[in-house]
Amino acid sequence: MSQNFTIETPMGEINIPYSEDKILNLARKIMKASEGDPNLLEEAVVDYLGITDIDNTEADWIFWEENKVPIYLFDFMGWIENDFIVEEKFGLSMSKRKKTGIQFHQFDYPHGKEKMPIRATYFVKRKLDDARFVIDFTPLDGLHLEMQIIYLPEIRIGDFHQQYEDYATQKGILKNNTVNAKLQFIQIDEVGWDDVVLTPEQRKGLDKNIVKFIENIDLYESKNLPTSRGCLVTGPPGTGKTLTCSAIMNQIESTIIYITSEDIQERGQIAELYDIARKVSPTIMVVEDIDTLGGIDRTKGGDHPILGEFLNCLAGVESNGGVVTIATTNYPEYLDKALVDRPGRFDLRLDFGLPDADLRKYILRKYLSNFNHQNIDLKTIIKDTEGMTGAHLKEMVMMAYMECLEVSGYKKNTKIKQKNLEDSLKIIKTNRAKWNHYKGKDESISTFHG
């Protein structure tokens, strides 16, 4: 804006032509000259967007924490390749005053390793409408990533973000893959129904409420029915809770988020994971040991804000459409009634108690069927294993096999004998007695989870 600047002097008023824009441009030139080398990013933006000054642009920033970078960056680059034309790309120094090579980092993905740009500037044109964007990636403090998006004022940046989110939810790397609470890809142990000891009623409940529910989720949605379910799996350590979760995860093609109590330490983590789960649904949320979420010991009483957050996520304001939650606990008696006895939170409950004599016989025969064995009489062993879990019985067979292997000189066709089982049973009993002795002295010792 131009105007006259008036100065009073003994000789009268002097009018000096004054332009604020020209003064500001002069100030910028002086500042750039004092800084030394020109800002190459600004020069490239001005040239690419066809403008006269960097101030004629708008800018938006995205910041990704280190643990989110591999997934979000993979999806972003896939979206750029799918919906844009990359017209130019190069690397710049941190000060943006020197050209460098593009800096890449290699990340691990379910399909293998891939290099992704972490310090680079991309000049892209959207295929839909030829809108141009300059996207500048800068790594911060390790592998945190800041992304600056520069564009012309007439462009609706909200549409840009929404289009990226739509791509990520429909075609992103999280779909039908498994991650932990830190969004790191993990492998599920190959476990089938034959590896788990379930009653017919338990198997039917899991099929109806989880497996078949997810496979036919569109039918429920078409009838305006809720498309979220909850399953609570309870029982002492070693009774097969984790094994059952693994078997379920192997039956279904869906996104899986696997959470352990140690992974959740701060408020907001659970809510954020449920938000991700909803976006990439159908999703199975497996939450191990909910009684110790956030490090709290529920056996000592008291509430915890993280457990409260979990309750709200299960049946709060946000709809969990397409999300099935499977939670395990060793101590259901210490959980709030509002958690375990309210539809919409947990619709199915599976209680895994200690196996009775018939079930112990079945479990032992099942594990022994994988080995050569000779003259095994299970009657006394079944009686002497009262109070033991399936995990104890599995370990007993494992130890018996290790012993007979050692005695035979590690021959492949070695056979488990009665004595091998009896010896391993004695060791397990001794170890349990020692554990109970020390646990009685110090109740703060945590139990083994299973």
From the number of C-beta atoms within 10 Å of its C-beta (0-12, 13-18, 19+), residue 275 rates as exposed
Residue count of the chain = 450
Contact yes or no for 98/92 (Cβ under 8 A): yes
**Domains of the chain, start order:** 24-173 (no CATH), 193-351 (3.40.50.300), 357-441 (1.10.8.60)
Contact yes or no for 274/323 (Cβ under 8 A): yes
List of residues 6+ apart from 118 with CB closer than 8 A: 69, 73, 103, 104, 105, 137, 139, 143, 145
**Token duo for residue 127:** 């295929």
pLDDT at position 23 = 66
Degrees, nearest 5: CA angle 70-120-149: 85
**Token duo for residue 321:** 């459409």
List of residues 6+ apart from 316 with CB closer than 8 A: none
**Token duo for residue 436:** 């109970």
Nearest to 238 by CA among 103, 391, 128, 378: 391
- pLDDT tens-digit series, residues 40-91: 999 999 999 999 999 999 999 999 999 999 999 999 999 999 999 999 999 9
Q: What distance, in Å, lies between the first and last C-alpha atoms of the chain? A: 74
How many angstroms separate the CA atoms of 330 and 31, rounded? 66
Task: Give the number of other Cβ atoms within 10 Å of residue 107's Cβ.
Answer: 18
Phi, psi of 185 (to 5 degrees): -70, 135
pLDDT at position 437 = 45
Strand 229-234 relative to strand 348-351, pairing: parallel
How many angstroms separate the CA atoms of 401 and 375, rounded? 15
Rounding to the nearest 10 degrees, give the CA dihedral for residues 434, 438, 444, 446: -10
User: Is the full-model pTM beyond 0.85?
Assistant: no
Beta bridge partners of 167: none
What angle, 0 to 180 degrees and rounded to 10, lies between the N-to-C axes of helices 69-83 and 157-171? 110
Contact yes or no for 394/384 (Cβ under 8 A): no
How many angstroms separate the CA atoms of 111 and 113, rounded? 7
Q: Residue ranges of the alpha helices (H) in 141-211?
A: 157-171, 200-206
- Going residue by residue through the chain (450 aa), what tens digit of pLDDT does each one get? 456 667 677 777 777 776 666 666 666 566 555 555 689 999 999 999 999 999 999 999 999 999 999 999 999 999 999 999 999 999 999 889 899 999 999 999 999 999 999 999 999 999 999 999 999 999 998 889 999 999 999 999 999 999 999 999 999 999 999 999 999 999 988 988 888 888 888 899 999 999 999 999 999 999 999 899 889 998 888 888 888 999 999 999 999 999 987 888 788 888 899 999 999 999 999 999 887 776 565 555 555 677 777 877 776 556 788 999 999 988 877 776 656 555 557 888 888 888 888 888 888 888 888 888 888 889 989 999 988 888 888 899 999 999 999 988 998 888 999 999 999 999 988 887 776 644 544 443 333 333
Contact yes or no for 363/390 (Cβ under 8 A): yes
